[in-house]
């Protein structure tokens, strides 16, 4: 799961979307009942702290390889989970399941 690089204007409010494929005990698993969180970390090589995590939500996609998408609304607009300043951020994703809580880097976000 790697978005590579996403670029958006600091004036824009839009979803950052991370495609997700999930299995449990070797079988396809629908993670949309699990809590998903995002962290946008400005310093390259740094890991998120507790204060960095913000709640995301889920979409179901018509895609066989990645049938689910975690998403987080970013920008200065109403309803956005966070507004980010100009810079390059690592996009982190964590999914709270039982007993696992995978945490991964999902790509890079550049706010211009």
Could you list the pLDDT tens digit for every one of the 112 residues in the chain? 446 788 999 999 999 999 998 888 889 899 999 999 999 999 878 999 999 999 999 999 887 788 999 999 999 999 999 999 999 999 999 999 988 899 999 999 999 9
Report how far apart the first and last C-alpha atoms of the chain are (Å, whole number): 24
Query: What is the pTM assigned to this prediction?
Result: 0.91
- Give pLDDT, residue 1: 45
Domain count, the chain: 1
Q: How far apart are CA 74 and CA 50, in angstroms?
A: 19
- Give pLDDT, residue 61: 84
Q: What is the DSSP letter of 25?
A: T
Residues 73, 79 contacting (CB under 8 angstroms): yes
- Give pLDDT, residue 50: 94
What residues make up the domain containing 57? 5-111
Token pair 């949309």: residue: 32
The CATH number of the domain holding residue 48 is: 2.60.40
């Amino acid at each position: 799961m790697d978005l590579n690089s996403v670029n958006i204007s600091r004036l824009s409010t839009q979803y950052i979307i991370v495609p997700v494929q999930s299995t449990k005990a070797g079988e396809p698993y629908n993670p949309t009942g699990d809590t998903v969180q995002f962290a946008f970390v400005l310093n390259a090589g740094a890991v998120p702290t507790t204060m960095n995590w913000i709640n995301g939500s889920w979409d179901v996609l018509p895609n066989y390889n990645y049938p689910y998408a975690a998403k987080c609304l970013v920008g200065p607009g109403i309803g956005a989970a966070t507004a980010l300043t100009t810079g390059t951020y690592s996009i982190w994703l964590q999914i709270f399941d039982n007993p696992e809580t995978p945490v991964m880097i999902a790509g890079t976000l550049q706010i211009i």
